[in-house]
Amino acid sequence: MKKKVVVFSQIDLEILEKLQEKYQVSIINPKLGDVNAQILREVKDADGLIGAGRLLNEGNLSSATQLKVISSVSVGYDNYDLNYLNNKKILLCNTPHVLTESTADLAFTLLMSAARKVPSLDRWVKNGEWKRTVGTEQFGLDIHGKTIGIIGLGHIGAAIARRGFYGFNMNILYHNRKPKLEVAQSLNAQYCELNDLLKRADFIVVAVDLNAESKALISEKEFNLMQKHAVIINISRGSVIDETALIEALKNKKIFAAGLDVYETEPLQSSELFHLDNVVTLPHIGSATTSTRKKMAELAYQNLVDVLEGKQPQYIVNKEISAIE
């Protein structure tokens, strides 16, 4: 008898076909009603789950009797209740590294767009307001040769630093739990305490994991340390920045601009951010290129298959649980 896999979000069609060839597959469909009720019903006899972007916890997993693995098509895992999964000995797998370069590209897209006022000037032209030579209100900021401060020098943070150093001749500052000398040396990057970085950087990029220490890492106190021409970019998780404090900093011109791909609440349906010209808002698309999403889906598929075949998958979040019984 085939093992059962529940697909709880949209997934690459080729990967879905491969799953259907190998397993009994149930697909969660928001058009068919309450998603959590569907998950609760389908996981009763499921061996594995695959997907991304859903909150999974005791509320929608409690009916599971033989669930071995949740394979997430993502790097972040703050939407999964790790304590519950650990208690139930359910493996959580993710897809790090394959999205590093795409996400770093997106960080620089936000940085350049915010610095040069791209979205507001795009609207300005399309609204027919370009009637004369641009004035100081349309002026942006230089990027080349400026100082970029990266909070979190992991794989993505290092990729952003490389773009700044080699592409824009930027001075690199970074803050991390501990210095990363090997990465920093090749980029002439300087380790700083957080407050020092915030005071010195022209551009600040937040690239940390969301955890108890990083929640609201950037709040009113931190915004008050930044330079008035500073631009802050967030490609990590929305809750790392206090959104209310960010809005106040933008409204009161404490900083020049912000570029955001993540938010405290997603999808973002209404916000004061929508009424501000000095913020670029994107819909959490850090990894959203055709090639990268394909690679992520393939890796998630392989993680799932490995666990269901009794092998050790490449990437496990809760490593204290073994995939091999």
Positions marked active-site? 237, 266, 284
Residue 160: CB partners within 8 Å, gap ≥ 6?
104, 107, 108, 148, 150, 205, 207
The answer to whether residues 164 and 148 touch, using CB atoms and an 8 Å cutoff, is yes
Residue written as tokens 């389908």?
Answer: 42
Among candidates 295, 262, 267, 293, which has minimal Cα distance to 280?
262
Cα separations (Å) of 70 from 64, 282, 295? 12, 27, 18
The answer to whether residues 230 and 203 touch, using CB atoms and an 8 Å cutoff, is yes
Q: How many CB atoms lie within 10 A of CB 84?
A: 15
Q: Is 86 exposed, middle or buried (0-12, 13-18, 19+ CB in 10 A)?
A: middle
Q: Which two structure tokens, joined as six digits, stand for 231?
A: 């631009």
Q: Which two structure tokens, joined as six digits, stand for 23?
A: 């397993």
The answer to whether residues 51 and 303 touch, using CB atoms and an 8 Å cutoff, is no
Q: How many CB atoms lie within 10 A of CB 322?
A: 10
The answer to whether residues 250 and 257 touch, using CB atoms and an 8 Å cutoff, is yes
Tell me which H or E stretch contains 70: strand 69-72
Rounded distance, CA 103 to CA 96, Å? 11
Q: Which two structure tokens, joined as six digits, stand for 244?
A: 């209310």
Rounded distance, CA 172 to CA 190, Å? 6
Rounded distance, CA 118 to CA 133, Å? 17
